Amino acid sequence: MDLDLRHLRTVAVIAETGNLTKAAAVLGLTQPALSSRLKRLEGWIGAPLFIRRQTGMELTAVGRFTLLRTRAILASVAELRRGALQFTHNVDPMITIGGSADSVLLGLADRLATHLPLMEAHILMEYSPVLLRDLVLAGRLDAATTVEYPGFPTLAHESLHSEVIAEEPVFIAISAADPLAERGAIDLADLARHRWAISPPDGAGWPDCFRVACAEHGFDPDVRYTTPNAGSIHALVTAGRVVSPVQPSYPADHLVAVRPLTGNPVVQRHVLLCPRDGVLTCQLGLLTELATEAYWSYVRDHTDHFALLRCGG
């Protein structure tokens, strides 16, 4: 088998959807055809990329490594095509902004379209803060919004501007039927006997910062599920199987309650990264202002805890 871009997109789409049926629909394949393609790819690599669980497709260690490299390659190919188009078409200046599909990136992109209308913004979505930082350093991104964790190595680099957008406490998603959900805030130590679902390691300090906080509260978390898929976390929390650390903007409903942790023992810092000699350096003040505005607008629209977060938790 010769590896090509179809196989790389297959890995990326399965990881993003967390489900073979959804991934097949996105890729325009039948589920059996997608399963066969994945099996051939795993045979070529020599190891499974995903574990098939009831809650969805979970990346293996080899799968996480492959996904990071896959996203970098796909980003490079997209950059190649965009660069070539500038020589063959009359196009507006283009900038590329990276980040995850979180509370900052999409709102920032919308605001850039209004404030810098002569620049066309291309968006690259990526989970890993370290990879985003490295893509900015390599000149593949003009800026990136991502997160870092106080007490862990920062993403700062002498070649980059690093601007703080907001410091955000980590909240807890818990079944609405759990007695602890009746509290306005939950002490982390009171969750010691619960089972947990967490998102995968991001290379920048997660979930290490969470485990450190648990240790400081006297317990080692019983992590039974690791998944990047918000839908899987919702299903597990709804069923009362687990609790999960989440962003304050994680959607709460009549089945899942989202609560702050007493004293904010786990915090993440939203940051904006921009090359010191990049095309957006002269717009750094505006960029930071728009990113901050995008964050607070998103928080206001997606959580009942806006006032708490605005006053610093």
Per-residue model confidence as pLDDT tens digits over 16-71 = 778 888 888 778 888 899 999 999 999 999 999 999 887 788 899 999 999 888 88
57 found inside a domain: yes
- Average pLDDT of the chain, as a whole number: 89
Domain count, the chain: 3
- Its pTM stands at 0.73
221 found inside a domain: yes
What 8-state DSSP symbol labels residue 190? G
214 found inside a domain: yes
Of the candidates 106, 113, 120, 114, the one whose C-alpha atom is nearest the C-alpha of residue 295 is 106
Between 231 and 75, where is the model more confident? 231
Region of residue 263 (phi > 0: left; psi between -120 and 50: alpha; otherwise: beta): left
Model pLDDT for residues 169-207, shown as the tens digit of each residue: 999 999 999 999 999 999 999 999 999 999 988 889 999
For range 88-114, the mean pLDDT: 80
277 and 140 within one domain: yes
Query: What CATH number is attached to the domain comprising 43?
Result: 1.10.10.10
216 and 204 within one domain: yes
102 and 246 within one domain: no
224 and 252 within one domain: yes
85 found inside a domain: no
195 found inside a domain: yes
| φ, ψ at 165 (rounded to 5°) | -90, -50
> E strand or H helix at 305, and its extent?
none
The whole domain housing 242 covers 171-265
184 and 244 within one domain: yes
